[in-house]
A and B are shown apart, each in its own frame.
Chain A
Amino acid sequence: DAEITQSPRHKITETGRQVTLACHQTWNHNNMFWYRQDLGHGLRLIHYSYGVQDTNKGEVSDGYSVSRSNTEDLPLTLESAASSQTSVYFCASSVQQNYEQYFGPGTRLTVT
């Protein structure tokens, strides 16, 4: 069955370290998204991509970067982790021209 996976599921890191969160989907979807979830804020968009070599900033992109070298993967990198980036991160994907998104299980990141 097609799916979307995230790794690691839990990560503890120190302030200032670079961290990469993986997202892999086997739906063959063009669109991929990264959101962060914080209490009282719902999910907020970090970055998104409409296809290979395409990346776009969302509302809370500062301190994050993504790259899209193939259809299946959209890794999220925190260049220099900050305590404010402690959150749960969700990856999602959707078919081209479609708003219905499929979500991964999430990665809980703690920055100490």
Chain B
Amino acid sequence: AQSVTQPDIHITVSEGASLELRCNYSYGATPYLFWYVQSPGQGLQLLLKYFSGDTLVQGIKGFEAEFKRSQSSFNLRKPSVHWSDAAEYFCAVGAGGRRALTFGSGTRLQVQP
């Protein structure tokens, strides 16, 4: 079975600074990879996804993620963080015949003015 690790439970960055959220997965082949964002009291919104092809994928809100097969990683990045980016971010993988997702435990992002 696949698993997802988000090593950082909580990250604080200053507004305008760059951001990288880490995600590592465990699976024998290349899974489908996702990043979701959850604002307080809200549902999950898809930021971006990787299925195949170009390993650098662009998402909404200026986010991007890079798939690195050799490191089993799918890290999320943003060059300049805005206060509205404060939220919880979840990495998720889909693999095998079951079409459910396996989620990491999430990273809570705090943005300082």
A residues touching B (Cβ–Cβ < 8 Å)?
A: 31, 33, 35, 40-45, 48, 50, 56, 58, 90, 92, 94, 97-106
Alpha-carbon separation in the docked complex, A40 to B90 (Å): 12
On chain A, the residues within 8 Å of B100 by CB distance are 33, 45, 48, 58
Alpha-carbon separation in the docked complex, A108 to B63 (Å): 29
On chain B, the residues within 8 Å of A105 by CB distance are 42-43
Alpha-carbon separation in the docked complex, A41 to B46 (Å): 19
Q: Contact at A106–B46, with CB atoms within 8 Å?
A: no
Q: Contact at A43–B103, with CB atoms within 8 Å?
A: yes
Q: Please, could you name 24 A-B residue pairs with CB atoms under 8 Å apart, sorted by A? A: A33-B100, A33-B101, A40-B105, A41-B105, A42-B4, A42-B6, A42-B105, A43-B90, A43-B92, A43-B103, A44-B103, A45-B100, A45-B102, A48-B100, A97-B99, A98-B99, A99-B99, A100-B49, A101-B46, A103-B44, A103-B45, A105-B43, A106-B42, A106-B43
B residues touching A (Cβ–Cβ < 8 Å)?
A: 4, 6, 9, 32, 34, 36, 42-46, 49, 90, 92, 94, 98-106
Q: Contact at B104–A42, with CB atoms within 8 Å?
A: yes
On chain A, the residues within 8 Å of B105 by CB distance are 40-42
Distance (whole angstroms) from the CB of A38 to the closest CB of chain B: 10
